[in-house]
């Protein structure tokens, strides 16, 4: 049986009043659960004739990332009608056999409730996950704003490196923060998948007792989202599943495992100028 293909399409239109036939007036973004992303633009002339594209890009973002974007897109609240006077975009969620439309009017970003019911900006996640530039900001016909997500993740990693390094000297402070680590991961847009994807890519590195393998491979792990997901998933395991009485088992290996991942996350999100100095 052929696997059912899920995907969504985002179409944004720019008014072409008094514009040149060569002005770009339409963008189409499509994400498939097969892990492919397509991005295409059309000029006023191409839109009028229904022929061709100005630019067309295809990128493989991977099934895991595509699945996360699809799940996030499902969280968008549907609006039956467009706000009066707005030129909207159409965000449509499809299945092979049937379609389900989600329509949202113009806004500066699309807020969704993500894991742990934390508010997240879907606009920002598109920017983080997709390698395309100048995607119009949800019907506003302008490029996506330069979000500060990279700086926030960098600060998040720096704070936790500090907490881990001072755990023995200030255990009360560490444990008070550790309880809320999952909420911080959710607010940072990371996805808790019980470590499934990290185990798939690095089967000998997810368990804290395998720190030696992780230390050997950590410099080659270059996926920020995967690292954040691994941290989130390991936190969930230690706080919810490792023991029956709610206690948390901590060891030198647990300390080292979390520290290695946070250090790598800090390194990957470090400002370019700081990287050049090192």
- DSSP, res 59: E
The whole-number pLDDT of residue 135 equals 76
Contacts of residue 76, defined as CB under 8 A and 6 or more positions apart, other chains included, come to: 91, 102, 104, 110, 112, 122
CA 109, 224, 116, 72 torsion-angle sign: positive
The whole-number pLDDT of residue 242 equals 87
> Which of these CATH numbers, 3.30.70, 1.10.150, 1.10.530, 3.30.1560, describes 7-129?
3.30.1560
The whole-number pLDDT of residue 133 equals 78
> Both tokens of residue 72?
């996030």
Domain boundaries defined on the chain: 7-129, 149-277
Query: What distance in Å separates the CA atoms of residue 275 and residue 185, rounded to the nearest whole number?
Result: 24
The whole-number pLDDT of residue 1 equals 35
pLDDT, one tens digit per residue, over 7-55 is 777 776 766 556 688 888 888 888 888 899 999 888 888 988 888 889 8
Burial class (CB in 10 A: 0-12, 13-18, 19+), 58: exposed
Distances (CA, A) of 226 to 121, 190, 193: 19, 8, 10
Instruction: Tell me the β-bridge partners of 100.
Output: 93
Residue 13's Cβ-side half-sphere holds a number of Cα atoms within 13 Å equal to 14
Burial class (CB in 10 A: 0-12, 13-18, 19+), 89: buried
Q: 93 with 8: CB under 8 angstroms? A: yes
Burial class (CB in 10 A: 0-12, 13-18, 19+), 31: buried
Which residue stretches of the chain have pLDDT < 70? 1-6, 12, 14-19, 78-109, 137-147, 273-278
Query: What distance in Å separates the CA atoms of residue 278 and residue 271, rounded to the nearest whole number?
Result: 11
pTM summary value: 0.84
Instruction: Tell me the β-bridge partners of 92.
Output: 9, 101
């Amino acid at each position: 049986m052929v696997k059912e293909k899920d995907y969504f399409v985002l179409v944004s239109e720019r008014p072409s009043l008094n514009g040149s036939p060569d002005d770009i007036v339409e963008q189409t973004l499509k994400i498939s659960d097969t892990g492919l992303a397509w991005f295409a633009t059309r000029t006023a002339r191409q839109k009028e004739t229904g022929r061709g594209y100005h630019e067309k890009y295809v990128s493989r973002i991977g099934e895991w990332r595509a699945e996360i974007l699809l799940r996030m897109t499902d969280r968008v609240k549907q609006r039956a009608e467009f706000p009066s006077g707005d030129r909207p975009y159409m965000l449509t969620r499809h299945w092979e056999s049937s379609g389900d439309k989600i329509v949202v009017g113009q806004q500066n970003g699309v807020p969704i409730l993500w894991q742990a019911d934390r508010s997240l900006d879907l606009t920002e996640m598109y920017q983080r996950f997709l390698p395309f530039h100048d995607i119009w900001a949800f019907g506003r016909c302008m490029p996506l704003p330069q979000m500060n997500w990279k700086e926030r993740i960098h600060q998040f990693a720096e704070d936790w490196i500090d907490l881990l390094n001072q755990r023995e000297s200030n255990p009360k402070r560490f444990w008070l923060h550790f309880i809320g680590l999952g909420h911080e991961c959710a607010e940072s847009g990371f996805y808790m998948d019980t470590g499934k994807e990290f185990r798939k890519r690095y089967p000998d590195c997810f368990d804290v007792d395998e720190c030696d393998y992780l230390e050997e491979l950590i410099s080659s792990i270059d996926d920020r989202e995967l690292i954040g997901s691994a941290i989130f998933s390991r936190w969930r395991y230690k706080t919810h599943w490792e023991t029956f009485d709610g206690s948390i088992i901590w060891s030198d290996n647990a300390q080292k495992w979390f520290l290695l991942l946070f250090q790598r996350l800090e390194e990957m999100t470090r400002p370019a100028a700081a990287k050049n100095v090192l």
